[in-house]
Amino acid sequence: MFKYLKNDIPASIVVFFVALPLCLGIALASGAPPFAGMIAGIIGGIVVGTLSGSQIGVSGPAAGLAAIVLTAITSLGGYENFLVAVVIGGVIQIVFGILKAGVIGYYFPNSVIKGMLVGIGIIIILKEIPYFFGYDKATGGQFSFFKVEFESLFTPIINSIGNPSLGPLFIGVFALLLIIFWDNVLAKKAKIFTLIQGPFAAVVLGVLYTVITMGNETWGILSNHLVKVPIPDSFDSFLGQFRFPNFSVITKTEIWVTGFTIALVASLETLLCVEATDKIDPRKRVTPTNRELLAQGAGNILSGLVGGLPITQVIVRSSANIQSGGQTKLSAIIHGFLLLISVITIPNLLNLIPYSVLAAILLIVGYKLAHPSKFKKMFSLGWKQWVPFLITVILIVATDLLLGIGVGLAVGIIIVLVKSYQNSHFLHIKETDTKFHKVKMDLAEELTFFNKGAIMRELEALPKDTYLEIDAVKTRYLDNDIIEVLEDFIEKAKNRNIQIKLISDQGVLDNPSSFIEIFKSKS
């Protein structure tokens, strides 16, 4: 694992600079103390990163939980009460892991997972544009991925383009061009430029620019355009930023309901992120999902005990890790230590980083996630792929992450059911003579209750005096619902003068009842 340090250290630095504003912003969006976001980021990196089986996934506070957290803090009567629910959520996640519930993520179709990645990429781009232009009235920024309405999304973008702040815009554009040039030109020229990543160079440049232009009304960076890390004035004040759960409320039903909600949503988001991250891992490694739930549960228990926000594996930081060349879990662990060291030693220096520079980094991340080629590829795969993909993307951008994923999954299931309905059998008209219509029906390999309606429709449509040949040679499983349909039809066929010939893997069966008995024994 340590042989990849030359890759993991630069990647961890990039993830650190991406995670820092996200940790703070998600805390603000959640109505929690800013330091709570830093705690979750530190634990997500060090503790979850160590326990997890994922080599390139990064965990921390999740924007997808912000709406739940914001509501829960108010409804539960304060942040300390909410922390009890976080601890309970962690315990439930460990139970999920023990019960091997990690397979849930594998039942989401690729079209929905890819739609999630693209939708998050678009959200990142749209929400970073106001910060890139230094727009004073931008709300939510890169931190609000929930309940995004089109008006609140596009109004700041339009206003920011029409009313930019020159200083943030100048250094933002310069940082963006530097990262692009660094990755596409310099990194291919010398090894030093792969060791020191473009985003890190952009952040250093941003800090220097802030110092040089300080006090300049036109080209300087105002304080509201800079990162804001809490600055303790003593060790006691640093410790005072930690909050502890009020376990006296643990018997309240609403605490347990919130804890279960956190566990369910955090687990689902983690499993979807694991699935998505494994797909974009250049080395195509597979994360053990049950172990991931155990690691996330342990992280949430610890985070809740010391005042942190709920933790999940998060796609923005994970994709930034992959795109920056991270190879092993050391990059996630090191990024956690960097967060810890930074809040203790250099909060004043961190507060010199312009948001527009961080926006430039995230614009690159968002573009890679939502690259136009991904739309082209999905459309080339046919409507069964691009319909749930596109619906997932649109709803994630227009509403929220979970609704987009949920509706995309529902559409994907409907498409599968429709195709299953259509492909349950194939009807062939073989020939017609003066007395009998000869019809052949080929049954699919597996038939379940989903296929019941299609088969009933075709059988009921057969005219009188039909010679029906049912070919089930390839059929390996008949659901009991289908067996009952065939049994009922065999009885009805006598009254309609329909003769039935049945072909199975055991040969031709002129007695329909023996055919039914064969598949009853199989099912």
- The winner for highest mean pLDDT among 80-94, 232-246, 424-438, 450-464 is 80-94
Residue type, 108: F
**Can you read off the two tokens belonging to residue 121?**
């990429």
Predicted local confidence at residue 6, as pLDDT:
84
Distance (Å, rounded) from C-alpha 102 to C-alpha 294?
10
**Model confidence at 140: pLDDT above 70:** no
Predicted local confidence at residue 520, as pLDDT:
62
Tell me which of 26 and 331 has the higher pLDDT: 331
Give the predicted TM-score (pTM) of the model: 0.70
**Model confidence at 428: pLDDT above 70:** no
Q: How confident is the model at residue 87 (pLDDT cuts 50, 70, 90)?
A: very high
Q: What mean pLDDT value characterizes the chain?
A: 83
Tell me which of 47 and 141 has the higher pLDDT: 47
Tell me which of 348 and 512 has the higher pLDDT: 348
Tell me which of 351 and 39 has the higher pLDDT: 39
User: Out of 34-48, 133-147, 184-198, 229-243, which region has the weakest mean confidence (pLDDT)?
Assistant: 133-147
**Model confidence at 474: pLDDT above 90:** no
User: Out of 56-60, 142-146, 177-181, 246-250, which region has the weakest mean confidence (pLDDT)?
Assistant: 142-146
Predicted local confidence at residue 516, as pLDDT:
66
Tell me which of 40 and 385 has the higher pLDDT: 40
Domain with CATH 3.30.750.24 in the chain: 423-522
Structure letter (DSSP) for residue 441 = E
CB 504 within 8 A of CB 473: yes
Q: pLDDT tens digit string along 231-271?
A: 877 777 777 788 899 999 999 999 999 999 899 889 988 99
User: Three-state DSSP class for 311?
Assistant: strand
- Look up the CATH architecture of domain 423-522: 2-Layer Sandwich (3.30)
Predicted local confidence at residue 432, as pLDDT:
54
User: Three-state DSSP class for 286?
Assistant: coil
Q: How confident is the model at residue 416 (pLDDT cuts 50, 70, 90)?
A: confident
Q: pLDDT tens digit string along 153-170?
A: 677 777 778 778 899 999
Closest by CA position to 355, among listed 134, 201, 173: 134
**Model confidence at 147: pLDDT above 60:** no
Q: pLDDT tens digit string along 11-21?
A: 898 899 888 87
- The winner for highest mean pLDDT among 205-209, 356-360, 451-455 is 205-209
**Model confidence at 93: pLDDT above 90:** yes
Closest by CA position to 308, among listed 59, 94, 95: 59
Distance (Å, rounded) from C-alpha 243 to C-alpha 156?
34
**Can you read off the two tokens belonging to residue 453?**
């309606």
Tell me which of 296 and 399 has the higher pLDDT: 296
CB atoms within 10 A of CB 181: 12
**Can you read off the two tokens belonging to residue 473?**
């040679």
When pLDDT is averaged across residues 89-99 and rounded to a whole number, the result is: 96
Tell me which of 351 and 2 has the higher pLDDT: 351
Predicted local confidence at residue 336, as pLDDT:
96
Predicted local confidence at residue 415, as pLDDT:
84
Predicted local confidence at residue 145, as pLDDT:
37
Tell me which of 449 and 460 has the higher pLDDT: 460
CB atoms within 10 A of CB 471: 17
Q: What is the DSSP string of 187-245?
A: GGT-THHHHS-HHHHHHHHHHHHHHHTTT-TTTS--GGGB------SSHHHHHTT----
**Model confidence at 141: pLDDT above 50:** no
Q: pLDDT tens digit string along 171-223?
A: 999 999 999 998 888 877 876 776 667 887 888 899 999 999 998 888 999 88
Predicted local confidence at residue 293, as pLDDT:
96
**Model confidence at 63: pLDDT above 80:** no
